[in-house]
DNA sequence: GCAAAAGTGTTCTCGGTACACCCATGG
DNA sequence: CCATGGGTGTACCGAGAACACTTTTGC
């Protein structure tokens, strides 16, 4: 059974929406291999950890947001023999969704940590030149997963603070799908799905226009029927 | 970087449809741990293999169907610290779909290899008592993946031989979803989806009733709009 | 009052469901 | 001719798309 052993790591595609753009958290590498390039946050799995425990721990360490409650799920594993020049390393990609965090990432243990709009990382051919290892592919897979999960789950609420308006929720869909949605049909769709949104007794104040109802996320996780992206 | 190393294995959820039932390929273990129980086929990743290569190789060795062309995709990774009493083993689950194979599994390298209806493995509490390691969970995840992929892809055709009738295809959906479908609406749905089915110039002969058109699978992989399972 | 944003009502259309009905073969 | 399964036509209904219109605030 012995003979071919692997180091096992966890990599995180941490997504948020800032200024109507889907962004991923990247860390600048200051040691070889790929020194100077950007990479996904991650780390090795410790002897008594399960994969999700490693991912949870690293997410707290990288974002400074210690408390749990963020959406975190496994994405896929990557183990090409030559993906790491130091030796045989298998990495288990994960996807994490966080509400828009405070600008300087407080408490993060890595200095060179920053949010990057994914548009420039996934569309352009610049991705592979900019990112270390196969992180460009992992990132692309994570974005695709997030896009498709918005269709048939209530995952979008994970991008929002505890209380939010329908418009904030719509901005999440628009940023992740990179398209616009009809505000009126969107409103009906999400408010008429049982368990998606629970109204609070407060409304947004201080903005121009009619004040919007504030909602909390409800208990539902699935969306029946799904909200399809369409062909754009 | 060294210090916590893993053995890395691949496990296969090999699915087929036999006698209107979804079945999985299981191997009887004759060595500890879990000697005497059934387990998923699988094996360790060799030094220069990527995960899909290991899975492809093991699928050929277990089913005796050497030629490729079967649907094979990664499912998820499992790495609980105590999942294997021999030490730290991470396994990458895969799902494989094969047409109904000849009854005795010719060329398979394991003698105790047999098809088991998944109904008894997933529904009953017998699953964890019958299966080795965490293979009950991997199997359940694989079945769930297959069920949901029938909704929005043309994966069902992978369960069929190269040429098949609409009824054969419907039997696949009915076996995997464990429900019945209206034959007439199903017919229209699949024949009107561009690229799903390509008619051949032959028809089925020798059966009672009107002879059915034979189809080959077309180039389409996605199903727009999806065919939803409904709530049953 | 006017601009802006929230939220409702209405119409059209498309796809799913249910089911009546016709077609083509074996016995 | 009749049973059996293949395949088409059609009516109904629910949901999405498009958009007119009302509501409620800031300025």
pLDDT over 70 for what percent of chain B?
A: 90
Q: Which fold has domain A153-217?
A: Arc Repressor Mutant, subunit A (1.10.10)
Provide the shortest C-alpha distance from residue B231 to chain A (in Å).
Answer: 10
Report the first-to-last Cα separation within chain B, whole angstroms: 51
- For the ranges A173-182, B168-177, B197-206, the lowest mean pLDDT is seen at B197-206
Chain A residues 151-190, Cβ below 7 A from strand D: 182, 184-185, 189
* pLDDT averaged per 10 residues in sequence order, chain A, 232 residues: 83 96 94 91 96 95 79 98 96 96 62 89 73 95 97 97 97 97 98 97 89 97 92 55
3-class DSSP string for A184-215: HHHHHHHHHCCCCEEEEEEECCCCCCCCCEEE
Per-residue pLDDT of B60-91, as tens digits, reads 988 877 667 899 999 999 999 999 999 999 99
Instruction: Report CA(B213)–C1'(C23) in Å, whole number.
Output: 13
- Which candidate from A1, A49, A87 shows the least CB-CB separation from B7? A1
Domain boundaries, chain B: 7-150, 153-217
Alpha-carbon gap, residue B75 to B141, rounded angstroms: 8
Instruction: Report CA(B31)–C1'(C11) in Å, whole number.
Output: 70
Per-residue pLDDT of A164-199, as tens digits, reads 999 999 999 999 999 999 999 999 999 999 999 999
List of chain A residues whose C-beta atoms are within 8 Å of the C-beta of residue B80:
50
Q: Which fold has domain B7-150?
A: Nucleoside Triphosphate Pyrophosphohydrolase (3.90.79)
Assigned token pair, B169:
């295809």
Mean of per-residue pLDDT scores for chain B: 91
Domains A7-150 and A153-217 share a fold: no
Cα-atom radius of gyration of chain A, to the nearest Å? 19
CA A57 to chain centre: 16
Inform me whether the pLDDT recorded for B98 exceeds 70.
Answer: yes
Provide the shortest C-alpha distance from residue B156 to chain A (in Å).
Answer: 21
């Amino acid at each position: 059974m012995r003979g071919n052993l692997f180091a096992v790591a966890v990599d995180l595609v941490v997504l948020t929406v800032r200024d109507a753009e889907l962004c991923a958290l990247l860390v600048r590498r200051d040691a070889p291999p790929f020194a100077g390039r950007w990479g996904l946050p991650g780390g090795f799995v410790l002897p008594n950890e399960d994969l999700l425990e490693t991912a949870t721990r690293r997410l707290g360490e990288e974002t400074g947001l210690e408390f749990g409650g963020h959406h975190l799920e496994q994405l896929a594993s990557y183990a090409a023999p030559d993906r790491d020049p130091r030796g045989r390393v298998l990495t288990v990609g994960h996807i994490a969704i966080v509400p828009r965090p405070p600008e300087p990432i407080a408490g993060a243990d890595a200095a060179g940590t920053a949010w990057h709009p994914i548009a420039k990382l996934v569309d352009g051919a610049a991705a592979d030149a900019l990112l270390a290892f196969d992180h460009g592919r992992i990132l692309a897979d994570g974005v695709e997963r997030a896009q498709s999960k918005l269709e048939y789950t209530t995952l979008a609420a994970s991008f929002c603070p505890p209380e939010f308006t329908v418009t904030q929720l719509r901005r999440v869909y628009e940023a992740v799908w990179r398209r616009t949605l009809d505000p009126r049909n969107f409103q009906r769709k999400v408010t008429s799905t049982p368990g998606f949104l629970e109204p609070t007794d407060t409304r947004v104040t201080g903005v121009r226009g009619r004040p919007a109802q504030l909602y909390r996320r409800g208990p539902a996780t699935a969306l029946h029927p799904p909200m399809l992206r369409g062909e754009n």
